[in-house]
Amino acid sequence: MNVLVTGGAGFIGSHFLDLLLADANGPTDEIICLDLLTYAGREENFAHHEDNPKFSFIKGDIGDQGLVGELLDKYQIDWVVNFAAETHVDRSIEGPDAFIQTNVVGTHELLKASLAYYSELNPEQKHRFRFLHVSTDEVYGTLTFDEAAFTEENQYLPNSPYSASKAASDHLVRAYHHTFGLPTLITNCSNNYGPRQFPEKLIPLMIHNALDGKSLPIYGDGLNVRDWLYVTDHCTGIHKVLENGRLGETYNIGGNCEKTNIQIVDTVCSILDSQQPKANDSSYLSQKTFVTDRKGHDRRYAIDCQKIESELGWTPAETFETGIQKTTQWYLSQIKRGS
CATH code assigned at 59: 3.40.50.720
Q: What is the pLDDT of residues 223-247, one digit of tens each?
A: 999 999 999 999 999 999 999 999 9
Indicate if the pLDDT at residue 48 is higher than 80. Answer: yes
- pLDDT at position 101 is 95
Q: What residue numbers bound the domain in which 161 lies?
A: 2-190+231-256+303-317
- pLDDT at position 338 is 64
Indicate if the pLDDT at residue 25 is higher than 90. Answer: no
What average pLDDT does range 76-102 have in this prediction? 94
pTM equals 0.96
Q: What is the pLDDT of residues 120-163, one digit of tens each?
A: 999 999 999 999 999 999 999 999 999 999 999 999 999 999 99
Mean of pLDDT over the chain: 96
Alpha-carbon dihedral angle through residues 250, 41, 8, 185, given to the nearest 10 degrees: 10
- pLDDT at position 174 is 98
39: in domain? yes
Catalytic residues: 137-138, 162
- pLDDT at position 335 is 79
Count of structural domains within the chain: 1
Band of pLDDT at residue 267, cut at 50, 70 and 90? very high
Residue 112 · residue 119 · CB < 8 Å: no
27: in domain? yes
What average pLDDT does range 209-235 have in this prediction? 97
Residue 259 · residue 225 · CB < 8 Å: yes
224: in domain? no
216: in domain? no
Indicate if the pLDDT at residue 26 is higher than 80. Answer: no
267: in domain? no
How far is residue 109's CA from residue 133's CA, in Å, rounded to a whole number? 13
- pLDDT at position 193 is 98
- pLDDT at position 40 is 86
Q: What is the pLDDT of residues 290-323, one digit of tens each?
A: 999 999 999 999 999 999 999 999 999 999 999 9
287: in domain? no
Band of pLDDT at residue 202, cut at 50, 70 and 90? very high
The lowest-confidence range among 4-13, 26-35, 85-94, 175-184 is 26-35
- pLDDT at position 28 is 67
206: in domain? no
